[in-house]
Structure 1
């Protein structure tokens, strides 16, 4: 199946994600909370743009069923933002709007949005798929291991649940339904791999507390 070949194409990237000190630190509980806090703040900003990308895919969908699926996922993303993120922001007593997007985050979301707006539907689905799929697989792995830190465990439980897995499998069904030429598939693989690399960069960005060298807001 197309989805299986896509996943095989990023085996090196996924392996690097699982061994990244941010991920291993979540499991051990030794990840500095400041790095996790920065990740959650950046995830808040990321999901605002990711939900826009899904809304565009809903409008471009090739069937009513696909349109409803992505529209539902927009609602789900907003719910995660409201419930999970607000829990953390209340705990830390911070306003995420006081923080700017990191360079890697801005590059990633700009790439997602430009692709879903300007490219065909199948390419748009390919570019958002790593966010769905990698989080599901990472969630599975981390759920097996757990974390002694209750904050980290709460995050792990969100992406390791069955409800989230059902949503990912529905997107994979769309991927496997595409009838594409070799050149069209090649574009899908390019977008899928590049977005997967951005997923790695997102974890790494949070671990390094990456910021622009100058203030964006004047």
Structure 2
């Protein structure tokens, strides 16, 4: 079994819960409350800043020159997504990126990014790859699954199209190919750690959408 096959098998129940979540269903039928989507966009802006840092660390530790360039490009792309698509969404809500940046980083976002950065700084390159991979792969799978359905809401349709688009799918295939190459070189113990990080951050992906659906706030 390749490493990517093992990884996906480990999160099939998590992915099923993601597809069944009312946040995801609300994107395609247009019933998702705008406030829930705004919550998601604001927290995703916070998240992507730290995700870009995590990708930059992956770039610095990547095994080959081509991999270094690719992760560096992805880090820049994560910030560009924040500044581009998110700015468009926030404008539609009558706000701005500056206002969103001033809003607090909420519990699930803080927990996810803290775990992500601790793993990429403290673990091996393979472990770092396992931790950052769900944000690539799950978004590609969700985008692909929802693309055929579309959405009657133009904002939600834009979000779906971004992650269902072939350009994004191509990026994800490149990261998956690297993951399988790395999987052939690591020890069984390291492979288990990679799977553990991948499952953990996949769970955080579900929690991230759920936090937006619930309108999560700091309790005190």
| Band the TM-score falls in, shorter-chain normalisation | over 0.9
1-structure distance, mates of 2:93, 2:27: 18
2-structure distance, mates of 1:117, 1:181: 20
Tell which deviates more after alignment, 117-126 or 74-83. 74-83
String of CA shifts for 1:57-110, please: whole Å, max 9, x gaps. Answer: 111111111111100101111221111011011222222123111101100000
1-structure distance, mates of 2:90, 2:143: 21
1-structure distance, mates of 2:41, 2:31: 17
Aligned counterpart in structure 2 of residue 141 of structure 1, from 142, 145, 155: 145
String of CA shifts for 1:99-125, please: whole Å, max 9, x gaps. Answer: 111101100000000100111100000
Please say if 1:104 is aligned against 2:105: no
1-structure distance, mates of 2:94, 2:216: 21
What pairs with 1:146-165 in structure 2 (closer than 5 Å)?
146-165=150-169
- Residue 135 of structure 1: how far off its partner (Å): 0.1
**Equivalence for 2:78:** 77
Please say if 1:25 is aligned against 2:26: yes
1-structure distance, mates of 2:93, 2:25: 23
Moved over 4 A (4+): none
Aligned counterpart in structure 2 of residue 167 of structure 1, from 164, 167, 171: 171
Structure 1 residue runs of 5 or longer lacking an equivalent are none
**Equivalence for 1:127:** 131
Q: TM-score with structure 2 length normalisation?
A: 0.95
**Equivalence for 1:66:** 67
Number of equivalences:
214
Please say if 1:208 is aligned against 2:214: yes
Q: TM-score with structure 1 length normalisation?
A: 0.96
2-structure distance, mates of 1:107, 1:18: 22
Over the aligned positions, Cα root-mean-square deviation in angstroms equals 0.8
String of CA shifts for 1:130-188, please: whole Å, max 9, x gaps. Answer: 01000000000110111111111011111110000111111111110011111111001
Structure 2 residue runs of 5 or longer lacking an equivalent are none
2-structure distance, mates of 1:89, 1:121: 35
String of CA shifts for 1:1-49, please: whole Å, max 9, x gaps. Answer: 2101110110000000000000011111111110011001110000000
What pairs with 1:176-215 in structure 2 (closer than 5 Å)?
176-178=180-182, 179-214=185-220
- CA contact 2:45–2:101 (8 Å) conserved in 1: no
